[in-house]
Structure 1
Amino acid sequence: MKLEFNKIKLLILDFDGVLTDNFVFVNEEGIESVKCNRSDGIGISRLKNIGINVLIISTEKNSVVTVRGNKLKVDVIQGVSNKKIEVEKISDNLNIPLAKIAFLGNDINDIPALEIVGYPMGVSDSYEEIDPFIKFKTQKKGGEGAVREVCDLIYSSIIRNE
């Protein structure tokens, strides 16, 4: 089955393991930092410039997620215990059908969201448990350009069909 990326109206991203390489650095004061890929930001910006919504959903609540979301100029929803319920709320609030939503995840806490969207996707180094729930897997790893890869696929698909 070939995915029609040009039908996507919203891209929802998990944070840890998708926008990051799933590692966290903790200093002696307990301050956390993560590594993100700048090219992901360019991909997100291109999508936003052609009217595709992008947002971040994270199970954890952490200021690094807020800071990165602000830098990318995307909405961030944190502390989400059930991503399915959150995605359904977003779908209703934005009036975007689930069938036109892409979700890029990497771990078992993403499965509820992956089960309900039209474009369930995983990064190349995602956990095997999500494989039965995804229709597309990136070639790049999380935090190493996987988001940019997905953004470029959506962008080029939309531009070709205009």
Structure 2
Amino acid sequence: MLVLDVDGVLTDGRITFVGATCEDPQEIKSFHVRDGLAVKWAGRMGIVTAIITARRSSAVERRAREMEVRHLTMGAEAKLSALYRLSEQEGIPLQDIAYVGDDLPDLGPMAAVGLPIAVADAAAEVKAAAAYVTERVGGDGAVREIVELLLEAQGKWRDVVEGNRGEP
């Protein structure tokens, strides 16, 4: 299973609010197209995909649908508890889960999984807790980098590449 944070992992961490009132602001988030394609490919190649984020956002909800994410957990103040629920629900042991984070609230889930990953611009403490630190920063292809590595390790990346060449 591949579990992702949103702000700082799938985005560069910036949040822009628009709207007439503070009670009903709309959020604008920017997502890298290659990260989205990679998440979709991961799911199609048999990797269970999930998002756990502390924020609630219609933009994230829409993007998760576009990426065909199997599990979306928003408003998760306790990310570790959300991770335990996902692990149990899918029957996937924690040691078989990769979790990608960027900031201190991600430390709990990262300590619990078999493959903790930090994006290149993550907080120093998060990088120190990671088994792998991406070369790319959050929101700029870091997730694509991770998915490519995971699929290469499973011997499936070539299938993704060939599947995108078109019909023979």
Instruction: Give the structure-1-normalised TM-score.
Output: 0.89
Please list the CA deviations of residues 73-124 of structure 1 after superposition, one character each: whole Å capped at 9, or x if unmatched: 1121001111111111111110001000000000000011001000000000
In structure 2, which of residues 53, 57, 63 is the aligned counterpart of residue 68 of structure 1?
Answer: 63
Gaps of 5+ in 1: 1-9
Q: Which amino acid aligns with 2:41?
A: R
Does residue 1:125 correspond to 2:116, yes or no? no
Return closer, same or farther for 1:160/1:72 CA change in 2, 3 Å cut-off. closer
* 1:99 and 1:119 in contact (8 A); partners too: yes
Q: Which residue of 2 aligns with 1:57?
A: 52
Q: Which residue of 2 aligns with 1:12?
A: 3
Alignment length (residue pairs): 152
In structure 1, which of residues 148, 156, 159 is the aligned counterpart of residue 144 of structure 2?
Answer: 148
Gaps of 5+ in 2: 158-168
Shift of 1:45: 1.9
Does residue 1:27 correspond to 2:18, yes or no? yes
Instruction: Pick the structure with greater CA Rg.
Output: 2
SS at match of 2:40: helix
Return closer, same or farther for 1:160/1:67 CA change in 2, 3 Å cut-off. closer
Question: More displaced, 28-37 or 137-146?
Answer: 28-37
Measured in 1, the distance between the counterparts of 2:14 and 2:156 equals 36
Shift of 1:160: 6.4
Measured in 2, the distance between the counterparts of 1:143 and 1:132 equals 20
Q: Which of 1 and 2 has higher RCO (CA within 8 Å, sep 6+)?
A: 1
* 1:46 and 1:155 in contact (8 A); partners too: no
Measured in 1, the distance between the counterparts of 2:156 and 2:16 equals 41
Q: Which residue of 2 aligns with 1:36?
A: 31
* 2:45 and 2:156 in contact (8 A); partners too: no
Instruction: Give the structure-2-normalised TM-score.
Output: 0.86
State the superposition RMSD in angstroms. Answer: 1.4
Identity %: 30
Shift of 1:132: 2.5
SS at match of 1:156: helix
